[in-house]
Structure formats: C-alpha cells, structure tokens
C-alpha cells in the first residue's frame, strides 16, 4: 500500500508540474476558500454532467508531458477553467463495467465484470431521485451497449427498483433504427475487444429504443440515420445522443460513459491514441454544449475522469498500454477535472482523492446524502 | 482439495515429462499453499512443450524448493500462505486445469482486495528465487532488432522517441538491402553460437528468406491456422450461454492439431498456437501478433538474437466482423501500423532488458526502406544523434 501511495504521489507531481508549465495553472492547496462563499456563488437548479474518459487511459498518453499532444482540446479549453485533481486512486476491480459501476455507487463493487448484473450498492441516480424526489426523466445514463445496461439502478433493497436512472444505449438505438443492412454504420457499432459478441438483450427489444428516439429525443428514424452516417465512432454517437437528451429532456444528472479508448486491448497503439484524441475532442464538445444550452449554461458542473488507467510499460506482469490487469500504481492512479460555477479555475490539487469520492461530491453539490458510499465529498468541489 | 492431500497418481493425465517431474517433487508440492501450487503446475504441465531455457529454470526452481528446510520454505511461502482462498477454489480441479484455476484465483484476488498482497508475495518469492538460483547468463551478449514501417512511403512525425534517449539516432542510414543484411547477421550469429531456439526471426507479414538454423515465425504463413482459429471462435461464440471467460477456457485448451497444424517441431507449434490463443488481438492484427510473439519468445526462450519485422495490419473494422472468418484480403493501414510498430519496438527492447545480461545487450531499430535508425548498446553514447552517412553493416559492427 505504501508503494502505491508513493508512486501515486510521483504520478500526481508529474501531472501537476506539466500542467503548471503548459497552462499556467496554480497549485490548489493554498487556495481553498470558505464553503459559504462558494455556496453564495452557486446557481439554483444545479445540474451535473459526468463523463468517464474511458475505457482506461494512462498518464503518459494524457496529462504527462509526452501525452500533451493527445489532449490539446482539454488543455486549451478546459484546464484553464478547471480544478484538476492529479491523484485519483481506484482501489477496486479494474474491469470497465464493475469499475464504472463503482464510480456510480461510490462503493467498490465486487461482481463479475462480464455479468449483466445490477450494482449492489445504491447508485448516485437513486440517491438523487429518492432524496430529492425527482422523476426518472431527470437522471440519464448514455453508455456503450456492452454490459452497461444495468448501471442505472442497483439491487439494493432500500433503493433499487424504479428509483434509478434511465439508460440509453446509442448502439442499440442505431441497431433498432436500421431496418436492413448495416453497411454504412458498422464503424458506429464497434464492440470492445474483450466482449465482441456479448451484447445483452433489453426488455422490449427494438420497439423501446425507437420509442425513445421519437418520443423523447424528437428524432425521426430518417434524421437519426442520416446524422449517424456523418459520425466516426461509437463515442461520437454517444455524444450526439447526449446532445439530443440535453436539448429535449434536459436532465439534471447526466452520465456519459465513453469507451472508444478500450480498443487498446487489441494491442494497437495507434488506435488507442486515436481513441484518446477523439475522447479529448468530445469532452470539449460536451462542455461547449453545456455552455450553449440555456437549460445548462451557468448552472452545470462538468466532472471528467477515467474509470482507471492502464498497466505501466515497466511492469513485467502486464504488456504496457494494452491491458489493465496488473493492478499496478499506474493502472490505479488517474485524474479528475471539475469545471463549472463556483469551482476554482486553473487550480491543480495533488492530494490523493479516491474514486469513491465522486458520488458523495455530487451529493454535496445537489444536497443529497450518499449513505452507502465508501467515499467522502471532495471539499474543493462540493 | 488442498496441496497437502496431493498424491503421485493424480498426475496421470500429464504428458510424460511433466508427469515424471511432478511425481519426483510431489512431496515438496504437498508442503506449499493453494495460492501458490497451481501457478507452478501451470508451468509444469507444459514441461514437454517448453523451450530449453524454460525447462532449466523450472527444474532449478523445483530443486530449490525441495532443498529448502521446512522453516525456510514456510518463510518463502509466508505471503502466499496469508492469502485466503475459497471453498469453490479448493474444490476446483486445479491439478488438471491449473491455468483455469489461476484465472479464477485472479478474479478472487480482485474481488477480495487481495491483489496487492498477492503481488507482494510474488515479488518477494521471485527476488528470493533469483538470489538463490540466478538465471543463466547468455552465451553471447543479446541482440534485438526491430524493423518497422513496411509499406510506408513517407512519414513526417518523429519516430523512435522512446528509444532515442537510450542510444544513438542515425538519420542517414543507407537502406539498400537492409533486411537482407540484418537476416545475414542473424544467420551468422546462429552458425557461430549454436543452440536450440536461441536465434529468432518473427515477421508480421511474409518473411524474407532466412537460414534454417533460425527459429522462424510468420503471421502470413500462419494464415490457415488463424482462419481455423477464427472459425472455432465464431462457432463457440454463437453457442447459447457462451461468455468471455468460457471462451478463454476453450481457447486455452486448443492444441496445434485442433487447428489443423502439422509440424515436425511440436514445441514451436505449441508456442505459435499459444501466441494466437492467449494473446489479445494477435488473431486479427499483425502488429499485435509480432509484438506479443516477440514478448513471449524473449520471456520463454531467452534468445540471444531476435529480429522482429512488423508488417502492415488490417484497418480497424467492427470487432465482430474482424473475428469472423473471411476469405477476402483485408484493407491495410500502413501508417497506423508504423505507429503500432514504433511502440512495439520499444516494448521489444524493454522485454529484452528484463533478461540477464541486459547491461551488455544491444538493440537496433530501423524504419524499413528509409534512412532512420536507433542503435542502443553499452558502447553507444546515449541520447546522441548522427547525420553522417552510414550503412547497416556499420551499425551492426558497432554493437557486435
């Protein structure tokens, strides 16, 4: 544990030094201000958008000096306006679904990553809806189709059934919209490498998806298909759907799970880096959407974080960027970026933060209590 | 069952060499914890298909464990003994399916937050073993060669960025007959310093002509085996209830004959099948194949020379489509493959440096058909650049 802590500290320092050099941001430890002052600057009708920068990106390809070329948009447009946490440590299982579910519950879930099961602990969506008596339309998850269909609602007996988020799976939506051949859309239906065929079936089949498309997103099948043809990846499709959701439904709590980066499992470095560059661009696009949509502008906190990292080049138990199997410090240590009203701009915090702190932090922003979370609110954001 | 209940006859399904070795050391195995023994058996069960370097290492490891006093053995195993397993794991057939057991143990360690403890135990054990039974030094200093960028006419981005700090960068290398010169150098070494599986040539495409003293592996020549594997995966994946873990188990059990492979060298055939069945992406991307095959060759055979040539891989398509058997020639992505190979060359060097004699070993990476190369070696100044005209033979002479 001490080794993990020491190495995580080193990783954090590298990120901080780089960010200071690259963008002129300040170190945050001396910049904490009174919660009262911050509360006074916060708008009412708050909204939160979470983006998981997935699936799994390493420091050296993102915020370390040699990674800067892969995240130019976030460096230019987001970092100067953000509080950036350089040391977010994930102590849980490093599988994408189980780790993302752990992020969403604030507790380290231990289920089989490849099983289509609900998280055991209440999700952030359930806390939000139950405590604040919000309707289901106010919390949405946009996620890749594999496995993530159960992420919106836990099996917890005090929460669970009927209290979760609505989950939209863009690839399912696209499949349902296509009456015949997939030829023009294959690139948007790419599955991740680890689970190429294991797409869970949803209740209601394609009809539910098409109903979502027309009733909620106000999109005709023809328009949807025409726009989808202009996109280049599943994550682009996800952001397109998120944009429609923001415009037509305007949920207060929106969770977008990116996954293009996980092509790294196929061992192709160029495709992994391409995925990071695309995700960097898409994160900035989401922030621009937030700023341009009246329902979101000026009252939305954007939180961006990877679900975890990937194995270090030097760990003999792994094969570098390809996997996240060793549980080494590099694969466990990531970052978090927070942008929005009341959040200090251009500040870097290198104290350790736990992945499970995300949910209690969102709880503090909205005013609900994440009773079963193992984390605690990040004071600099909450 | 627990290792303390082991009996010699329980290894009856093992291949002959493995069986003899297991029976010889059954008493030692009885004294080791469940979190350790299947990991050892996973290696032991493959003994008959292992390279000479692996066999030697395994024999020495077993001999060392047998020689330890009861107290010393307890100390060596302390970390493993403190790992709690489960009744499900205890009831698993870990004698005959040790690799599958290790996968299940790994999932258990993650779920019970014991992964860090397991890593610490493994690291401590490896350190003790290396001190007690030092790995064998190579007969001559090792040489690694990576040839990248086949089929790329021009590329303006900097290459070898990760390797350059460790050696000298040359920008005016005469590329003429470069690959032939390198293959000749490998053959010359193989003839001078013989030994089974010590001289390797791995090609991500169709290989150049090479001497028969060299152990050769080619992605292109394995096409019928890859197609048979994809066919197998495809049919398994469409079975009801099939999941990723079950698929991994099915693939781990595949043998060369299952994929229509006939070879006079069962050890090399088994190696190639393992690269295809255990590596991620090796079935569909030639760059992943070349990198993983090189990693495994270095780790397992500990060659004194390894030439890896990366070739263009197919362009990305939906995974389900890439995994489906298809007679059509795929569209290639030479530039993306160059980026993959640049990283692959760096990984080859890292993996070579993990072996004994790393301080004396050398490495050459070359952009095929072009003028740029990096040379790393104990006599090569680090982080330097040269724009003097150079030939491939000269580069090799500086590190041999």
Helix (H) or strand (E) holding B17: helix B16-24
Long-range CB contact pairs, B98-102, < 8 A, 24+: B98/B38, B98/B39, B98/B41, B98/B42, B98/B44, B98/B45, B99/B42, B99/B45, B99/B252, B100/B249, B100/B252, B101/B38, B101/B42, B102/B38, B102/B39, B102/B42
Q: Does A225 touch chain B (CB under 8 A)?
A: no
Cis peptide before A39 (omega within 30 of 0): no
Does A263 or A212 have the greater pLDDT score? Answer: A263
Q: Contacts of residue A330 in chain B, CB cutoff 8 Å?
A: none
Taking the C-alpha atoms of residue A250 and residue A242, their distance in angstroms, rounded to an integer, is 10
Q: What is the pLDDT of residue A30?
A: 46
Q: What is the pLDDT of residue A196?
A: 45
Cα of A367 to nearest chain B Cα, Å: 31
CATH code of the domain occupying A2-30+45-352+361-366 = 3.40.720.10
CATH code of the domain occupying B143-397 = 3.40.720
Cα distances (angstroms) measured from residue B309 to each of B163, B183, B216, B224: 17, 11, 11, 20
Q: Does A352 touch chain B (CB under 8 A)?
A: no
pTM for this one?
Answer: 0.91
Q: What is the pLDDT of residue A197?
A: 44
Q: Which residues contact A239 (CB under 8 A, 6 or more apart)?
A: A256, A282, A285, A286
Q: Contacts of residue B314 in chain A, CB cutoff 8 Å?
A: none
| φ/ψ (deg, to 5) at B8 | -60, -35
Q: What is the pLDDT of residue A13?
A: 63
Q: Contacts of residue B250 in chain A, CB cutoff 8 Å?
A: none
Q: Over 80: is that where the pLDDT of A5 sits?
A: no
Q: Contacts of residue A323 in chain B, CB cutoff 8 Å?
A: 280
What does the pLDDT look like over A170-179, one tens digit per residue? 888 887 777 6
Taking the C-alpha atoms of residue B162 and residue B181, their distance in angstroms, rounded to an integer, is 25
A110 vs B318: CB contact, 8 Å cut-off? no
Does A65 or A17 have the greater pLDDT score? Answer: A65
Q: Contacts of residue B337 in chain A, CB cutoff 8 Å?
A: 270
Give the burial string for A361-380 (b: 16+ CB within 10 Å, else e): bbbbbbebebebbbbbbbeb
Q: Contacts of residue B344 in chain A, CB cutoff 8 Å?
A: 269
Per the CB < 8 A criterion, the answer to whether B299 and B305 are in contact is no
The two three-digit tokens of residue B113, written as one number:
């937050």
Q: What is the pLDDT of residue B48?
A: 97
By C-alpha distance, the chain B residue nearest A110 is B111
Q: Does A327 touch chain B (CB under 8 A)?
A: yes
Taking the C-alpha atoms of residue A215 and residue A331, their distance in angstroms, rounded to an integer, is 41
Q: What is the pLDDT of residue B279?
A: 93
- The domains of chain B are located at 3-132, 143-397
Going by pLDDT thresholds of 50, 70 and 90, the confidence category of residue A301 is very high
A91 vs B113: CB contact, 8 Å cut-off? yes
Q: What is the pLDDT of residue A204?
A: 43
Q: Does A189 touch chain B (CB under 8 A)?
A: yes
| φ/ψ (deg, to 5) at B26 | -60, -35
Between positions 41 and 80 of A, the ones with CB within 8 A of B are 66
Helix (H) or strand (E) holding A339: strand A333-339
Tokens 């059934």 belong to which residue? A161
Cα distances (angstroms) measured from residue B263 to each of A41, B190, B269: 74, 22, 6
Residue among A93, A197, A267 whose CB faces B285 most closely: A267
Q: What is the pLDDT of residue A181?
A: 54
- Terminal Cα distance for chain B, rounded: 54
Residues of chain B falling short of pLDDT 50: none
Per the CB < 8 A criterion, the answer to whether A362 and A103 are in contact is no
Q: Does A8 touch chain B (CB under 8 A)?
A: no
Residue among A112, A186, A321 whose CB faces B321 most closely: A186
Q: Over 60: is that where the pLDDT of A321 sits?
A: yes
Q: Give me the residues paired with residue A302 across strands.
A: A49, A339
Going by pLDDT thresholds of 50, 70 and 90, the confidence category of residue A205 is very low
Q: Say what percent of chain A tops pLDDT 90.
A: 60
B317 vs A196: CB contact, 8 Å cut-off? no
B116 vs A1: CB contact, 8 Å cut-off? yes
Cα of A244 to nearest chain B Cα, Å: 25
Q: Which residues contact B151 (CB under 8 A, 6 or more apart)?
A: B311, B312, B332, B334, B337
By C-alpha distance, the chain B residue nearest A90 is B113
- Alpha-carbon dihedral angle through residues B391, B393, B395, B397, given to the nearest 10 degrees: -150
Tell me which DSSP letter residue A153 carries.
S
Q: Which of A28-37, A158-167, A340-349, B68-77 is predicted with the least confidence, judged by mean pLDDT?
A: A28-37
Question: Quick check: helix, strand or coil at residue B210?
Answer: coil
Q: What is the pLDDT of residue A209?
A: 67
Going by pLDDT thresholds of 50, 70 and 90, the confidence category of residue A202 is very low
What does the pLDDT look like over A36-92, one tens digit per residue? 445 445 566 899 999 999 888 998 899 988 998 999 999 999 999 999 999 999 999
Tokens 């990292």 belong to which residue? A309
Q: Does A197 touch chain B (CB under 8 A)?
A: yes
In this structure, the strands spanning B373-376 and B362-367 are antiparallel
Q: Contacts of residue A66 in chain B, CB cutoff 8 Å?
A: 161
B287 vs A267: CB contact, 8 Å cut-off? yes
Mean pLDDT of A264-287: 97
Residue among B111, B282, B342 whose CB faces A110 most closely: B111
Q: Does A190 touch chain B (CB under 8 A)?
A: yes
Q: Does A5 touch chain B (CB under 8 A)?
A: no
Per-residue 3-state assignment (H helix, E strand, C coil) for A33-69:
CCHHHHHHHCCCCCEEEEEECCCCCCHHHCCCHHHHH
The two three-digit tokens of residue A144, written as one number:
């890749």
By C-alpha distance, the chain B residue nearest A1 is B116
Q: What is the mean pLDDT of chain A?
A: 86
């Amino acid at each position: 544990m001490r080794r993990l802590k020491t190495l995580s500290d080193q990783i954090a320092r590298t990120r901080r030094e780089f960010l200071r050099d690259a963008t002129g941001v300040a170190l945050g430890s001396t910049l904490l201000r009174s919660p009262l002052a911050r509360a006074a600057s916060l708008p009412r009708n708050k909204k939160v958008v979470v983006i998981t920068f997935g699936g799994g990106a390493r420091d050296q390809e993102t915020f370390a000096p040699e990674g800067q070329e892969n995240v130019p948009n976030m460096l230019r447009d987001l970092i100067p306006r953000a509080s950036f946490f350089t040391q977010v440590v994930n102590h849980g299982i490093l599988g994408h679904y189980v780790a993302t579910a752990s992020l969403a519950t604030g507790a380290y879930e231990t289920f089989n990553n490849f099983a289509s099961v609900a998280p055991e602990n209440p999700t952030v969506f359930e806390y939000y809806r139950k405590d604040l008596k919000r309707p289901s339309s106010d919390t949405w998850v946009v996620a890749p189709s594999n496995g993530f269909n159960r992420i919106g609602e836990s099996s917890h007996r005090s929460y669970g059934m009927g209290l979760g988020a609505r989950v939209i799976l863009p690839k399912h939506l696209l499949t349902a919209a296509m009456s015949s051949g997939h030829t023009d859309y294959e690139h948007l239906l790419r599955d991740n490498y680890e689970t190429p065929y294991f797409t869970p079936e949803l209740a209601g089949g394609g009809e539910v998806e098409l109903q979502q498309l027309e009733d909620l997103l106000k999109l005709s099948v023809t328009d949807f298909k025409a726009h989808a043809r202009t996109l280049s990846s599943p994550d682009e499709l996800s952001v397109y759907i998120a944009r429609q959701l923001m415009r037509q439904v305007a949920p207060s709590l929106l969770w977008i799970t990116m996954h293009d980066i996980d092509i790294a499992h196929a061992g192709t470095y160029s495709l992994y880096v391409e995925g990071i560059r695309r995700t960097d661009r898409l994160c900035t696009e989401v922030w621009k959407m937030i700023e341009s949509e009246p329902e979101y502008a000026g009252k939305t906190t954007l939180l961006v974080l990877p679900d975890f990292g990937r194995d270090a080049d030097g760990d003999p138990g792994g094969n570098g960027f390809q996997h996240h199997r060793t549980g080494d410090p590099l694969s466990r240590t990531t970052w978090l970026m927070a942008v929005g009203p009341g959040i200090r701009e251009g500040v870097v915090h290198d104290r350790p933060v736990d992945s499970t702190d995300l949910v209690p932090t969102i709880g503090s922003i909205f005013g609900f209590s994440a009773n079963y979370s193992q984390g605690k609110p990040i004071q600099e954001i909450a | 069952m627990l290792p303390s209940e082991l009996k010699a006859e329980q290894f009856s399904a093992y291949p002959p060499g493995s069986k003899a070795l297991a029976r010889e050391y059954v008493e030692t195995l009885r004294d080791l914890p469940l979190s350790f023994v299947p990991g050892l058996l996973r290696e032991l069960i493959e003994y008959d298909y292992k390279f000479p370097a692996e066999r030697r290492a395994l024999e020495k490891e077993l001999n060392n464990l047998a020689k330890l006093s009861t107290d010393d053995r307890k100390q060596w195993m302390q970390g493993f003994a403190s790992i709690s397993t489960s009744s499900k794991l205890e009831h698993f057939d870990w004698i005959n399916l040790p690799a599958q057991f290790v996968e299940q143990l790994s999932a258990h360690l993650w779920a019970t937050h014991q992964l860090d403890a397991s890593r610490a135990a493994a690291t401590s054990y490896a350190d003790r073993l290396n001190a007690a039974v030092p790995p064998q030094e190579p007969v001559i200093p090792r040489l690694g060669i990576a040839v990248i960028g086949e089929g790329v006419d021009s590329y303006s981005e900097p290459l070898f960025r990760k390797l350059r700090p460790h050696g000298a960068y040359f920008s005016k290398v005469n590329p003429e007959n470069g690959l032939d010169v390198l293959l000749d150098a490998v053959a010359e070494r193989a003839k001078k310093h013989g030994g089974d599986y010590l001289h390797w040539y791995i090609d991500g495409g169709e290989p150049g002509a090479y001497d028969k003293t060299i152990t050769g592996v080619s992605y292109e020549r394995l096409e019928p085996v890859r197609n048979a594997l994809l066919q197998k995966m495809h049919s398994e994946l469409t079975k009801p209830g099939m999941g990723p873990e079950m698929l991994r188990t099915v693939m781990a059990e595949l043998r060369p004959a299952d994929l229509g492979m006939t070879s006079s060298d069962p050890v090399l055939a088994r190696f190639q099948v393992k690269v295809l069945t255990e590596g991620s992406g090796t079935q569909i991307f030639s760059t992943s194949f070349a990198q993983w095959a090189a990693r495994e060759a270095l780790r397992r055979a500990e060659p004194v020379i390894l030439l890896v040539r990366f070739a263009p891989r197919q362009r990305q398509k939906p995974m389900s489509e890439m995994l489906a058997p298809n007679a059509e020639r795929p569209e290639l992505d030479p530039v993306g493959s160059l980026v993959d190979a640049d990283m692959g060359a760096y990984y080859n060097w890292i993996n070579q440096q993990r072996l004994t004699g790393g301080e004396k070993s050398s490495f050459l990476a070359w952009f095929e058909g072009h003028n740029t190369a990096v040379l790393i070696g104990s006599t090569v100044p680090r982080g330097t650049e040269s724009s003097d005209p150079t030939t491939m033979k000269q580069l090799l002479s500086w590190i041999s």
